[in-house]
Every structure is written in structure tokens, then in C-alpha cells.
A and B are shown apart, each in its own frame.
Chain A
């Protein structure tokens, strides 16, 4: 799980102070004081202050250019967002939701001790003790067996299993390509694919369940491609993404 660094924890506390001061008294001087106290964060603080001021100005100002983005979010909510939110609420009610803690915002509690939000589908899986790799995500979304998934993605079965197990080794362009193919094949939201490919450290999980220390070298992306069983043109394509 990604960590919150001390620097990001501090900036989060400071922006909450800025927003509180702005909301309660339109304080436009606190930002100067905080910037003076924390010169390395000055620009970020001033940027945030500008966000506060502009948000007030832009309230109820139409921006038709954003309609397409709104529609995309609407479709996502209908497809899975509402369901995910309801599930998160259900888990919260039984004390199983990942908690950043409400105090993280309202009181500036150090986020270093807080866990970070996961996309709903990932969070739920993790709560249930079953982290979902890319392959698991595809199986659940489509109900298809691995071989059929590989065919649809124009991969070999071995390569699909390998990249799912070693997602942390994938170059960014390969992740993007997989997200694109899954979206094209089944309309799977790229965010879900990218989250599964970007955040789940399966090697770490394997290592954690291993009895002895890991011996031997860690496989590389190039080796995964080499042993994929794909024909040479396909291999070259995937290697070019590295």
C-alpha cells in the first residue's frame, strides 16, 4: 500500500487550516504566514489559496466543455460507482472499511498513521483478504476462463498469467496498453485495470507467504516477454513498450 510521506502529511494539515480560515472569515493573510513558516511549501500553499478563491468565483458558472466528462462519470456511477459506494458504506458500518480517519481532515492528524483510499473494487477485495490481480479482475468482470481472456487480449495464456503476477515489473506503456485492450474487448473501465496493474504488489504477497528467504534472481520484464510463447513480432512489440 502506498505511504503518505511526512511532507504530504504536513501540506494536508496546512491546506485544511487555510480552507478553515477562508470558510470562517475569508482570511487572506494566513497563507502568507504559513508560506513564511514553510518556504518549501509556499508555492503549493499559494496555489491552494488560489483554488479556494476561484472556487467561490466559479460557483454556478457553466462550463459546457465539461459535459463530456460529466457524462463519463455518470456512466461509471451507473455501471459500478453507486454499487462500490454502497459496498464501502456497508463495510464501514461493520467496521471493515479502510480508514484514513475523519480526523485526518478535520483535526490535521498525521496521515502517516492512516491508510490510503483504494478504488472501491480494490478496497473491498483487500478488506475481504483477497487482493485482486489483473487476471482476477478480468475473470470477475467477464466470467471467462484465462485462455479466452488471453485470446481476446491477443496474448498467450502464459503471458497473461505472468504479467498479472508481476504487475509491478510492467513498464507504464505496457500497463496502458493492457488497460486499453481490456476496455476495447469488454468495455472494462481503464481505471480498474490500471489500479489492478499499478498498485497490487503480488511478488510481495508471494514473498510474505514463502517459508524461507527468497533465493535466485527476480524475473525481469524482458524475461517475461521472452518466455511468453508469443511470436517474435508480438514479442518485439511488447519489448518496445519498455
Chain B
């Protein structure tokens, strides 16, 4: 396990410390850091703050460029891509890729103005707001779409990967049985039960409890029912596969956050993080 909350520096404090220790903005050392620093060295809110202080010019452009054009390396915009995938349905006239691109152009403009203030502290909320702005721009006066729940598997235009977990029964399975130190199993089982019980949405909670049970239900596959297997989750809840996938993702994030925060045991979390990589 990496660390517990008591050992971690709060994100906001860390960002302040990083910003204060930056080389003089615009200096050669700063430009060098922009080129070579990791995302941990230069979190998005720090870059936003630097960009806004720099005003215009080469260093400002390099800072904005680092923030918006290096997602493959640093991941500053990955939450935006996930939000856009959730937002766009097969009934929209634009693609996920279109919405991401439009959001980026809205972000670039917003960062220069007063709305950029919020991005210094709440980068991911800022991304969400700008994505909603871009979505409204695309939909104009039509207010918002009135869609039925999404039912089709969807392909990520960037990675080419399908986001429908039904095609990959292993995705987000996150089974921990047999993957953690046997000395922790009993404690972990109780911890998981305790943590997932706090989820207040009934269906998300039930799907979460199912996911981390000894025998998780299939997402949509009917195979195994005749042998006494579980009813598929899509059938049990009357929702599409994508919805189950989202609920399982929430369950994993909730558990991961709680495990990172606890001080009771040192537990290897790779089994849980691996399931995130499966996405």
C-alpha cells in the first residue's frame, strides 16, 4: 500500500508548496521543468495558476500547451474524456471526440478569463463545467437531449476500445479472493462490507456488494443460469450493460478511496488498481 491519509499531504497544500517552489515563471529553468517535469511535479492546478500569472507570450503558451496537449503522458484531461463518454449517447449528432475537442477550445478560452480562477483549485470540477458548456453549445436551444438509457456498446474514438464490459467478462471483476495476503482476508471482507454499506443509492450499493462477493453475477450473460448461477445484473435491474459498468466503477473507486484512507492495515491494493487498468 502506498500510504494512508495520515501520511499524505493534502492535495491543496501540496499544490501550494509546488507552486511556491517553482523556478521564476518564464525562466529557462521553468521552461525546462515544463518539458521534463512529471504530472506529480506539475499538477494541473499549479499549471493553471502559472499560466494565469504569466499572461501572454511564449512561456504562457508553453504552459497552456503542456496542460492541453500532453494527455497521453500526464493525464490532465482524462477525467474530461470519461465525462464526455458518459455524456454523449448514440442519439447525439456529435461524437465523444467532437465534444472533447469542443470542450478543450472552451477550456482554453475560459482559463484566460475570470472563470479560470476556479481551475486553480478545482480542476476536475472545472473540466466538468466546461464540458457541460460545450455540450450546450452543440445542442443550442434544444435544451438537452431526452434520451432513453443508452443500450449500445460504444467505442472510444481515441483508443478504439469498446467501453461495453459485457464483451470482456474480466473487466472490473475485481475479485480479491485469493489475491491478498490470507492474513488480511477476514479483515478485508469486513472492511469491504462496512465501506460499501455507506453507499446510499440502493442499486449502486447492491451492484457493489455483488461485485466484491465471492461469486459476482454476470453483467448480461445468460450462461450459467440453468446451472443455478446468478441472474444477470442487466436483467435484475432492468438497465443496460453500460449502466452496470458505471456502477461497478463507482464501487471500485469507493473502496479504493476508503482503503487508502484507513490506518488499520497495510494492504496491497494492486488487485483493485489492476481492475482500473482493465478499463
A interface vs B, CB < 8 Å? 2-5, 8, 12, 15-16, 18-20, 22-26, 28-29, 31-32, 35-36, 39, 42-43, 46-55, 57-74, 76-77, 81-82, 84-86, 88-92, 97-106, 111, 116-120, 123, 168, 172-173, 175-176, 190-191, 194-195, 198-199, 201
Cβ–Cβ < 8 Å partners of B115 in chain A: 99-102, 104-105, 117
Chain A nearest CB from B75 CB (Å) reads: 5
Does the CB pair A100–B128 fall under 8 Å? no
Q: Give me 19 A-to-B residue pairs in the complex whose CB atoms sit less than 8 angstroms apart, sorted by A's number.
A: A4-B136, A18-B125, A26-B260, A48-B124, A50-B250, A54-B78, A57-B276, A63-B159, A65-B72, A65-B158, A69-B100, A74-B65, A76-B104, A81-B64, A81-B108, A88-B108, A97-B113, A100-B129, A102-B117
Does the CB pair A43–B138 fall under 8 Å? no
Does the CB pair A195–B159 fall under 8 Å? no
Interchain CA distance A74-B70 in the complex, whole Å: 9
Cβ–Cβ < 8 Å partners of B176 in chain A: none
- Against A, the Cβ 8 Å flags (1 = close, 0 = not) of B211-241 are 0000000000000000000000000000000
Chain A nearest CB from B48 CB (Å) reads: 11
Residue in chain B with minimal CB distance to A200:
B140
Interchain CA distance A176-B110 in the complex, whole Å: 25
B interface vs A, CB < 8 Å? 5, 8, 10-12, 15, 38-40, 43, 55-56, 61, 64-65, 68-75, 78-79, 81-83, 86, 93-94, 97-98, 100-102, 104-106, 108-119, 121-126, 128-130, 132-134, 136-141, 143-144, 156, 158-161, 198-201, 204, 246, 249-250, 252-254, 256-258, 260-261, 273, 276
Cβ–Cβ < 8 Å partners of A16 in chain B: 118, 122, 125
Chain B nearest CB from A206 CB (Å) reads: 15
Does the CB pair B61–A43 fall under 8 Å? no
Does the CB pair A50–B249 fall under 8 Å? yes
Known: A8-B132, A24-B12. Is A76-B141 also a contact (CB below 8 A)?
no
Does the CB pair B114–A172 fall under 8 Å? no
